Amino acid sequence: MKKVDVENLKKIVGSENATDNPVDLYAYSGDASVHQAMPNVVVRPKTIEQVQKIMRYANKNRIPVIPRGAGTGTSGHAVPIDGGIVMDMKQMNHILEIKPGDVLVRVEPGVVDDDLNRALLPYGFFYPPAPASSRIATIGGEIAANASGVRSVKYGATRDYILGLKVVLADGSLVNLGANTRVHSSGYQLERLIVGSEGTLGIVVEATIRIYPLPKFRCLGVANFNKLEDAGNAISEIITSGCQPSMLELMDGIGIVAVNKALDLGLKEVGAIILFEADGNVKEAVDFEINKMKEICKAHNGFGIELSYDAEERKRIFSGRKKLFAALSRYKEGIICTDLADDMGVPNSKIAEAAAKIHEIAKRNNVIMAVYGHCGSGVIHTKIMLDPKKKDQWKDADKVIEELYDYIHSVGGVTSAEHGIGLSKAPPWKKARADIIPMMRAIKKALDPNNILNPHKLMDAPDDWVKATDLRYRVVK
Ligand X SMILES: Cc1cc2nc3c(=O)[nH]c(=O)nc-3n(C[C@H](O)[C@H](O)[C@H](O)COP(=O)(O)OP(=O)(O)OC[C@H]3O[C@@H](n4cnc5c(N)ncnc54)[C@H](O)[C@@H]3O)c2cc1C
Q: Is 138 in the site for ligand X (CB under 6 A)?
A: yes
Q: Is 32 in the site for ligand X (CB under 6 A)?
A: yes
> What is the nearest approach in angstroms of ligand X to the Cβ of residue 185?
25
CA torsion angle 240 246 252 255 (round to 10): 170
Contact mark string toward ligand X, 161..180, x via CB under 6 A: --------------------
List the one residue from 29, 34, 104, 142 that touches ligand X (CB under 6 A). Answer: 142
Stretch that binds ligand X, among 98-106, 140-148, 274-282, 401-409 (CB under 6 A): 140-148
List the one residue from 19, 50, 74, 469 that touches ligand X (CB under 6 A). Answer: 74
List the one residue from 35, 53, 68, 300 that touches ligand X (CB under 6 A). Answer: 68
> What is the nearest approach in angstroms of ligand X to the Cβ of residue 366?
26
Euclidean distance between CA atoms 436 and 434, whole angstroms:
6
Burial class of 179 by CB neighbour count within 10 A (0 to 12, 13 to 18, 19+) = middle
Q: Is 204 in the site for ligand X (CB under 6 A)?
A: yes
List the one residue from 9, 65, 137, 408 that touches ligand X (CB under 6 A). Answer: 137
List the one residue from 28, 418, 421, 426 that touches ligand X (CB under 6 A). Answer: 418
Stretch that binds ligand X, among 70-78, 243-251, 257-265, 403-411 (CB under 6 A): 70-78
Q: Is 191 in the site for ligand X (CB under 6 A)?
A: no
Euclidean distance between CA atoms 139 and 129, whole angstroms:
10
> What is the nearest approach in angstroms of ligand X to the Cβ of residue 71?
4
Cα torsion angle, 262, 267, 271, 275, sign: negative
* CA 447 from centroid of its chain's CA atoms: 24
> What is the nearest approach in angstroms of ligand X to the Cβ of residue 424?
12
List the one residue from 63, 85, 153, 203 that touches ligand X (CB under 6 A). Answer: 203
Q: Please, which residue, 120 or 165, has the CB nearer to ligand X?
A: 165
Q: Please, which residue, 66 or 223, has the CB nearer to ligand X?
A: 66
List the one residue from 54, 55, 147, 235 that touches ligand X (CB under 6 A). Answer: 147
List the one residue from 31, 206, 229, 277 that touches ligand X (CB under 6 A). Answer: 31
List the one residue from 55, 70, 234, 293 that touches ligand X (CB under 6 A). Answer: 70
Euclidean distance between CA atoms 137 and 155, whole angstroms:
19
Q: Is 67 in the site for ligand X (CB under 6 A)?
A: yes
Q: Is 206 in the site for ligand X (CB under 6 A)?
A: no
Euclidean distance between CA atoms 194 and 204, whole angstroms:
8
> What is the nearest approach in angstroms of ligand X to the Cβ of residue 94?
13
The 3-state secondary structure of the chain, one letter per residue: CCCCCHHHHHHHHCHHHEECCHHHHHHCCECCCCEECCCCEEECCCCHHHHHHHHHHHHHCCCCEEEECCCCCCCCCCCCCCCCEEEECCCCCCEEEEEHHHCEEEECCCCEHHHHHHHHHHHCEECCCCCCCCCCCEHHHHHHHCCCCCCHHHHCCHHHHEEEEEEECCCCCEEEEECCCCCCCCCCCHHHHHCCCCCCCCEEEEEEEECEECCCEEEEEEEEECCHHHHHHHHHHHHHCCCCCCEEEEEEHHHHHHHHHHHCCCCCCCCEEEEEEEEECCHHHHHHHHHHHHHHHHHCCCEEEEEECCHHHHHHHHHHHHCHHHHHHHCCCCCEEECCCCEEECCHHHHHHHHHHHHHHHHHCCCEEEEEECHHHCEEEEEEEECCCCHHHHHHHHHHHHHHHHHHHHCCCECCCCCCCCCCCHHHHHHHCCCCHHHHHHHHHHHCCCCCECCCCHHHCCCCHHHHCEECCCCCC
Q: Please, which residue, 148 or 236, has the CB nearer to ligand X?
A: 148
> What is the nearest approach in angstroms of ligand X to the Cβ of residue 31?
5
> What is the nearest approach in angstroms of ligand X to the Cβ of residue 80?
10
> What is the nearest approach in angstroms of ligand X to the Cβ of residue 127?
13
List the one residue from 64, 84, 128, 141 that touches ligand X (CB under 6 A). Answer: 141
Contact mark string toward ligand X, 314..333, x via CB under 6 A: -----------x--------
Q: Is 71 in the site for ligand X (CB under 6 A)?
A: yes
Q: Please, which residue, 148 or 338, has the CB nearer to ligand X?
A: 148
> What is the nearest approach in angstroms of ligand X to the Cβ of residue 414?
13
- Residues between 114 and 133 that touch ligand X (CB under 6 A): 131-133
Q: Is 149 in the site for ligand X (CB under 6 A)?
A: yes
Max CA separation in the chain (angstroms): 67
Number of residues engaging ligand X in binding (CB under 6 A)? 36
List the one residue from 29, 72, 415, 416 that touches ligand X (CB under 6 A). Answer: 72
List the one residue from 66, 358, 385, 386 that touches ligand X (CB under 6 A). Answer: 66
Q: Is 385 in the site for ligand X (CB under 6 A)?
A: no
Which residues in this chain contact ligand X in the complex, by CB under 6 A? 31-32, 66-74, 77-78, 89, 109, 131-133, 137-138, 140-142, 144-145, 147-149, 198-199, 203-204, 325, 418-419, 454
